[in-house]
Structure 1
Amino acid sequence: MIFELDLFAVPKAVPEVQRLLRHHSCEVRLCVSELLANVIDHLGEGTPVTVRVLRTDQGHTRVEVTDPDPRALPVLLRAAATDESGRGLALLDAVAQRWGVEQGADRKTVWCELEGPGSGTAMAPRRHTGVGGR
């Protein structure tokens, strides 16, 4: 585990999490932001989530966002040029090598994997709490 953070998904938490991930690649920060935005948009502000950034056995970076609603599944849309939304998962799909959803009885985790370590520095495992009021 490189990074784990429990928080409430609110708009002000997104830049705070990006700041905490400042040593990670812009792709990692983009994926976390898009996954948090999806929770806010589709489950509502204040939804409790856990954000994780991990290294896989293959040396890739895995980004995960876990929320308490196993029924609200992400859908990859192809937004038209005039659409004001619907590009989040398309961005994630374009940046990530692969992505998916792991469903549990009382939660789901939306994840993506990025090529390479995703961090400019080696970081010790750490767990943060408190961003977004949780």
Structure 2
Amino acid sequence: MVLRWISSVRIVGQCGLVFLFSKKKEVSDTIKPTEVADSSMACKFVLDSAGKKIGESVSVAADVLIIKSGSLFLGVPLKHVQADEKTLVVKGIFDFTKAYELGEKWRKDSYRELNQHERPEEKSKRF
């Protein structure tokens, strides 16, 4: 009986040492600018410099604002976007071709459409 108690004390003592001397994770106090931009720039209407509606912002990926315009996704660098209270305004001339290329790149990398009519076995094969 005493032998069991001593061996359990050793095990508990070794675990205690692990907890006492384990390193704490360092928490960074700095916040990336894109993390702040995510919450303040998502779900807002995006206008060009003339005030014409381009679409609605749906995401911020790295330094690119993703805009859904109809069925298309457009990408605009954040340095060309000015945040107002309720809208976002693209500064300067809006290059639709380049914006389409950036939006399509984002769509292919991170966007997946869901199909409601998929069979359950097809879903399990996907994962």
Shorter-chain TM-score: which interval?
A: under 0.3
Larger radius of gyration: 2
**Higher-helix-fraction structure:** 2
TM-score between the two structures when normalised by the length of structure 2: 0.23
The structure showing larger relative contact order (alpha-carbon pairs under 8 Å, at least 6 residues apart) is 1
